[in-house]
């Protein structure tokens, strides 16, 4: 098992951190809001620690679990502290009514994060097609992901498997925009009968 | 059971027609290529007929199973012959390398078809997130669909159920663009390990 660092202290940070900790990983929370970070760490338990926001994260894999509006800013703020890290973008850049995206092809949040991250950091898009509550439920589920670096993707796939999830490789980082639309699609099917405990899967 | 009209004579026309006929529906094929239409009708069997291209289709539900480049033109060509019909857009407006779309938000093929169809025709997007071979395999599967008219959507959902498929309502016609991206996503996961006999599902 390994150390997983999570930037953010919201519901997705809690969901991913909780599931990772339950499956034996050591979790580190990094948030601008140190009070929220400590509360989240205490809530997750299993020895979850709070790291210094902006300092080098402990984990090789860093989940960027902030709202889409703040993701590029957060990665910029950490700057060289993220050298060599695998950054997992989980954001959904929805419009206010969640029927469209504020991003465009070639300019997904994942691609914009990659543009500001250190050269030897790698970005993988994942987790954005699953509701936090479904992640926390700790049942088997598919996680669609995409990224440009095979080694980074293999590491994320390994993490997902260790958490009882089935990684589903969708392709290169350009596919992150398709995943952003899949987030919209999930909200659509959830709102129109499938319910918010549903998830996308590949069968 | 009812009559299902299909515009087109390609692989998706065959897949949907074959599955509909197997489940007791009467199928009508309408294609500019009358030879291909007859061959397809003979191949599907079960009394499948060939209609006159451009004339009023027999079925209340008309599957527009042509390539995306020709869909708007085909619906324009039929014109008022489609009055009152439910038009099912199944197209995938992929770029040549199938990693992006030639359509844009608000201008999905389904929305462009709706713009040229008779006022009292209704457009539903469906079937574009399933490979033809998977449809023909005739096993249970999820069909993601979207449309603006509740009655038309209920009719399409009923057709899908009658064909042994689970309809998954994704929302209004604006969601058709998200479904177009889901088509890209399916090709992505199929190309990166899941295989071309896979399908998207809601679990």
What local confidence, expressed as pLDDT, does residue B138 receive?
87
Number of structural domains chain A divides into: 1
Considering only CB atoms, which chain A residues are within 8 Å of B189?
144, 168-171, 202
Please enumerate residues of A whose Cβ is less than 8 A from a Cβ of B.
99-101, 105, 141-142, 144, 146, 168-172, 174-175, 177-179, 181-182, 184-185, 188-189, 191-194, 198-203
Domain region containing A177: 3-194
The verdict on residue A202 lying in a domain is no
The verdict on residue B9 lying in a domain is yes
The verdict on residue A201 lying in a domain is no
- Which value, in Å, is the radius of gyration of the alpha carbons in chain A? 15
The alpha carbon of B131 is separated from its chain's Cα centroid by a whole number of angstroms, namely 12
Q: What is the signed CA dihedral for B203, B128, B161, A197, rounded to 10 degrees?
A: 20
The verdict on residue B41 lying in a domain is yes
CB A128, CB A150: distance < 8 Å: no
CA distances from A116 to A68, A75, A153 (A): 15, 7, 19
- In sign, the C-alpha dihedral spanning A112, A113, A114, A115 is positive
CB A77, CB A54: distance < 8 Å: yes
Q: Which regions of chain A are under pLDDT 50?
A: none
Strand ranges inside chain A, DSSP E: 3-7, 26-30, 49-50, 61-64, 86-89, 122-125, 141-147, 165-169, 200-202
What local confidence, expressed as pLDDT, does residue A138 receive?
87
The verdict on residue B202 lying in a domain is no
Q: Which regions of chain B are under pLDDT 50?
A: none
The verdict on residue B29 lying in a domain is yes
A74-133: per-residue pLDDT in tens? 999 999 999 999 999 999 999 999 999 999 999 999 999 999 999 999 999 999 999 999
What local confidence, expressed as pLDDT, does residue B190 receive?
98
d(CA A96, CA A111): 21
CATH code, domain with B122: 3.40.50.720
The verdict on residue A200 lying in a domain is no
Q: How far is A64 from chain B (nearest CA, A)?
A: 22
What local confidence, expressed as pLDDT, does residue A1 receive?
78
User: Half-sphere exposure of residue B91, counting CA atoms within 13 Å on the CB side?
Assistant: 29
The verdict on residue B73 lying in a domain is yes
ipTM of the complex: 0.95
């Amino acid at each position: 098992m390994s150390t997983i660092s999570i930037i953010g202290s919201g519901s997705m940070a809690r969901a991913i951190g909780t599931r990772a900790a339950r499956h034996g990983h050591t979790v580190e929370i990094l948030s601008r809001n140190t009070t929220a970070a400590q509360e989240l760490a205490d809530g997750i338990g299993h020895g979850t620690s709070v790291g210094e926001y902006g300092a080098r994260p402990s984990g090789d894999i860093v989940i960027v679990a902030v709202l889409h509006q703040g993701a590029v800013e957060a990665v910029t703020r950490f700057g060289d502290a993220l050298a060599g890290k695998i950054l997992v973008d989980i954001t959904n850049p929805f419009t206010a009514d969640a029927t469209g995206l504020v991003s465009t092809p070639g300019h997904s949040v994942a691609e914009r994060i990659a543009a500001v991250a250190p050269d030897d950091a790698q970005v993988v898009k994942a987790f954005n097609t699953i509701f936090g509550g479904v992640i926390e439920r700790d049942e088997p589920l598919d996680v669609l992901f995409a990224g440009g670096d095979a080694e980074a993707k293999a590491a994320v796939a390994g993490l997902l498997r260790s958490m009882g999830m089935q990684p589903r490789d969708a392709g290169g980082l350009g596919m992150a925009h398709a995943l952003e639309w899949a987030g919209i699609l999930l909200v659509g099917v959830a709102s129109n009968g499938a319910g918010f405990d549903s998830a996308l899967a590949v069968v």
